[in-house]
Structure 1
Amino acid sequence: MDRRTVLRATVAGGAAAFAGSLWSGAALAAPAQPGTGPYGPLGTADGNGIQLPAGFTSRVIARSRQAVPGTSYTWHNAPDGGACFAAGTGWIYVSNSEITPSGGASAVRFAADGTIVSAYRILSGTRQNCAGGATPWGTWLSCEETSRGFVYETYPQGGTAAVQRPALGRFTHEAAAADPDRQVIYLTEDETDGCFYRFRPTVWGDLSAGTLEVLVAGTATSGPVSWARVPDPDGAPTATRNQVAGAKRFTGGEGCWYADGTCWFTTKGDNRVWAYDVVGQRIDLAYDDSLVTGGTAPLTGVDNITGSRSGDLYVAEDGGNLEINLITPTGVVTPFLRVTGQSSSEITGPAFSPDGSRLYFSSQRGTAGVSAGGITYEVRGPFRS
C-alpha cells in the first residue's frame, strides 16, 4: 500500500473514531472528581482476570514468548505503548517492547470481523521502547526511554524499514502526539525534572528536519505558557531539558494524546493529567489525585493515556490497583476496568480500533510479574459514541 493510500485510510479511521468528541478547546475548569461513570460499576473478574462493567467482554490476543493465535509470530516481551491503524477493511494494533537490548515493536493485523490475520515485527535492534504515538500519515513513532534515546518512525503496514528521527531530539523519550491542525508533534520526557516538547517539521509529513521547542512557564500549575527553541536537539554535552532557562519541569512525563485543540499528557511523579490548550496557549490540571475531595482518589500510578470517540479519556495505571480509569468531558473520573492477580505488573498501550468498538491494552508483566509474562488484551462492548 502506498503512502497516500495509507494516509487516506488512517485519516478516515481517525475521523470516524473522534468526530463526536465533547471536549471544547479549553481545558477543564477544575480537576476531575470521582463520580458515577457512564457504564456503571465493575463486575466480578472474568476468566481472564479482568473486571469490567456489564455488557463488556475481554479476550487475550497475545502473550509474550508465545505465538500470536493463528500465526507463527512470537509476541515480544514487556509490551508497552500502542496504537491502532486502519488497514483495508480491518485494522492493525502496534505495540512497543520495553526491554534492553532488542526492544523494538510488533504489529497484529485484524480482519473486519476481528479475526487475527497476521503478526510481524516492525522495529528491531532498539532499546527500551516505551510509549510513542501515531501520525496522521499512518506511521507509529516508537520512543526509546533511555538517556539520549531516539524516536523511530515505523510502518505498521509492514514492508518498510523503520527510520531513526534524531531531529525530534535525543532525550528520555516517553510518548508522542500529533496535532495536524498546527502541524506539530508533542513529546513527553520521563525524567524527574523532565520537560514537555513540541517538534515543528519543516514539511508536515516529513520528520527528517524541523525545530524542537520546549514549553516555558512559571512554577504555577495553571496559566499561560510559551515555547522556546532547543539550541541542540542532540542533547550533548548539555541535556535538552537543561538548555533553555525557564523551561517548565514535570515529574516523570508519561502518556500523551491530542484531540480537538487540547493535548493531554500525564506525569507519574505527582499523579496528574495535564491539559495543554493549544489555542489559548495555557496549561491546566485535568486531574490531580491530591486534589480529590470527598473520598479516595480512584486514579493513581498515572501512565499511558488515550481517547475515545465520545471524548472520554482512558488513563492506565502503573501501580495503584491496576485499573484503566476514564475521565469524562464533564469532569468525572471513574474506573473502567481492573486487572486482578497481577500486582507486579502495569497496564500499558491502551488504544481504540478505528471504529471505536474495541479497546486494546497490555499487562506488561502479566501474572508472572516478569517481562516474559506480558499479556495483550482486547475489550469489546457498548462504548458510547
Structure 2
Amino acid sequence: MDRRTVLRAAVVGVGGAAFSGALWGQAFGAVAQPGPSPYGELGAADANGIRLPAGFTSRVIARSGRQVAGHTWHLAPDGGACFPDGAGWIYVSNSEIPLIGGASAVRFAADGSIVSAYRILSGTNLNCAGGATPWGTWLSCEEIELGRVFETWPGGGRSGEERTRMGRFKHEAAACDPVRQVVYLTEDEGDGCFYRFVPDTWGDLRTGRLQVLCAPSGQVTGPVTWQNIPDRDGFPVPTRLQVGAAKHFDGGEGCWYDRGVCYFTTKGDNRVWAYDAAASTLDLAYDDSLVTGGTAPLTGVDNITGAPTSRDLYVAEDGGDMQINVITASGVVAPFLQITGQSSSEITGPAFSPDGRRLYFSSQRGTSGSSTGSGGITYEVTGPFRTQ
C-alpha cells in the first residue's frame, strides 16, 4: 500500500473528530483540495515572465548584483517580510549565501515608489527564512548546523543582534504568537523538529526557554505537548535528538501565525501543517498525497505567508511548477501565479505590503540557476487581492 493510500485511510479512519474543532470549523473544514481559484485562470506570461490572473501586474524591484536606489542587491534572496514605515512600508529580504549572508531592505513611499535600499545584517551564514515580530523587528535565521537567529531592525541604523537563547540548529522560519507570547520555529532537517521559544519577557528575546513539540511518531492529527530542550546550544547532541518524545518532521520550511493557528510547511512530504495553539492540537491543512481530484497543484512546498485582508494562505514552491498557490479558507488550493523560464530556481520570501495590495517575492536563482551568481530577482505583484 503506497503512502497516498495509507494516509487517506488514516484520515478517513479518524472520521470527523479530527476536523470538528475550532481550527477546522473556522478555517479549512478538511484537507485542502484542488478547485477553481478565486482569481480565475492564469494568463500568458507577461514581460517579466510571470503568469498572473486577470487584473494583476508585476514589476521587478531588484536584481542580485545590481543597484537598487544606490544599494547593490544581495545574492540568493530568500525569506522576507513587510513592515509599516510611516505612510509607506519596508520589504526585508535574507541572503542565503555562505559566510556573508545577512539581509537587506527596500523602503517604499506611499505610492509604491522606491525611496531607498540598504543592508540591515552582514557577516552571517546562509540566512534562509525568518519572521516578523509584533514589535517591528525581523528575525533572520541561519540554515546551517548550529545556526543562529538574529534580530534585526528594518529601518536600519542599528546592527543585528544574536538571539542564541532561541536555539542553535538548522533554522528555517519563525512566527510570533502574541497571545501565548511565544515564537514558533521550524528546522530544515529530514528528521527536524517544531519548536517554540518562550521568552522571560515578551518583546525581549535575549532570555527564555526553548521547547519542542511532542507527539507519537506516527500521529498526523491530534493533541500534542511541549517539553523543554535541555541544551539549546545543540552540542554535542543536536537539539532535535535531546527529547525522546519529540515529533520529527520531514524538512521544516515556512511558518506563519494567524488568529490562533500556526501554519508550517514540510518539503519532504509536501505538507502544510496547522497547529491550533489554543487547543494544542495538530492537523493537516494540505497534503499532496491526500489530493483526491486530479493532480496535486502544489508541490515543492516551501515558504508560506498569509494575506492581511483575508484568511487565504499563499505557499511558494521550491521547484514544482515554480508557482505560488493560494489555499483559501474554504479549503481550495489553486495556482495564483507562475514564474516561467526559471525551472532551476525556487520562489522565496512571499510577503504582503501592510495594506494587502502588493505581494513581494523572489526567484532565488533566476534564469541562471546558480545561488552564487547574479541571477536572483525580486518581484512585486499588484492587483485586486481578496478582502474576505
Q: What TM bracket, shorter-length normalisation?
A: over 0.9
Answer yes or no: is the 8 Å Cα contact 2:27–2:330 preserved in 1.
Answer: no
* Partner residue in 2 for 1:270: 269
> 1:10 maps to what in 2?
none
The corresponding residue for 1:384 is 386
The two structures, once aligned, show a CA RMSD in angstroms of 1.1
* Cα deviation 1:214-240 (Å, max 9, x = unaligned): 000012111100000001100011100
Counterpart in 2 of 1:287?
Answer: 286
Matches within 5 A, 1:278-357: 278-308=277-307, 309-357=309-357
> Percent identity over the alignment?
72
Within 5 Å, give how 1:104-143 maps onto structure 2: 104-143=102-141
Match of 2:147 in 1: 149
Structure 2: any 5+ residue segments left out of the alignment? 1-21
Q: Which runs of 5+ in 1 are unaligned?
A: 1-21
Moved over 4 A (4+): 22-27
Q: Distance in 2 between matches of 1:105 and 1:232?
A: 28
Residue 370 (structure 1) shift: 1.4
Q: Deviations over 1:185-232 (max 9, x none)?
A: 000000000000000000000000001000000121111000000011
Count of aligned positions? 362
Kept in 1: contact 2:29–2:330 (CA 8 A):
no
Partner SS state of residue 67, structure 2: coil
| Deviates further, 367-376 or 151-160 | 367-376
| Cα displacement string for residues 43-93 of structure 1 (whole angstroms, at most 9, x for unaligned residues) | 00000000000000000000000001xx11000000000000000110000
Give the CA deviation at 1:24: 6.6
Give the deviation of 1:29 after TM superposition.
3.3
Q: Which residue of the other structure, out of 200, 205, 209, is the alignment partner of 1:207?
A: 205
For 1:28 and 1:265, locate their aligned partners in 2 and report how far apart those are by CA, in whole Å: 15
Deviations 1:344-369 (A, max 9, x none): 10000000000000000000000111
> Match for residue 240 of structure 2?
241
Retained in 2: the 8 A contact 1:77–1:99? yes
Q: Which residue of 1 aligns with 2:376?
A: 374
Structure 2 Cα separation of the partners of residues 37 and 246 of structure 1: 40
Task: Work out which of the residue numbers 95, 111, 130 in structure 2 matches 1:97.
Answer: 95
For residue 165 of structure 2, give the secondary structure of its aligned residue in structure 1. helix
> What SS class does the counterpart of residue 333 from structure 2 fall into?
strand
1:2-41 superposed matches below 5 A: 28-41=28-41
TM-score, scaled to structure 2: 0.92
The CA distance in 2 between the partners of 1:24 and 1:306, in whole Å, is 19
Q: Secondary structure of 2:289's match? A: helix
Write out per-residue CA displacement over residues 78-137 of structure 1, whole angstroms, 9 at most, x where no aligned residue: 000000000011000000000102000000000000000000000000000000000000
Aligned 8 A contact 1:174 1:253 in 2: yes
Distance 1:61 1:380 in 2: 12
| Alpha-carbon distance between aligned partners in 2 of 1:155 and 1:285, rounded to the nearest angstrom | 34
- Tell me the distance in 2 between the aligned counterparts of 1:312 and 1:30: 15
Cα distance per residue 1:278-319 (max 9 Å; x no partner): 011100000000110120000000000000021100000001
Match of 1:365 in 2: 365
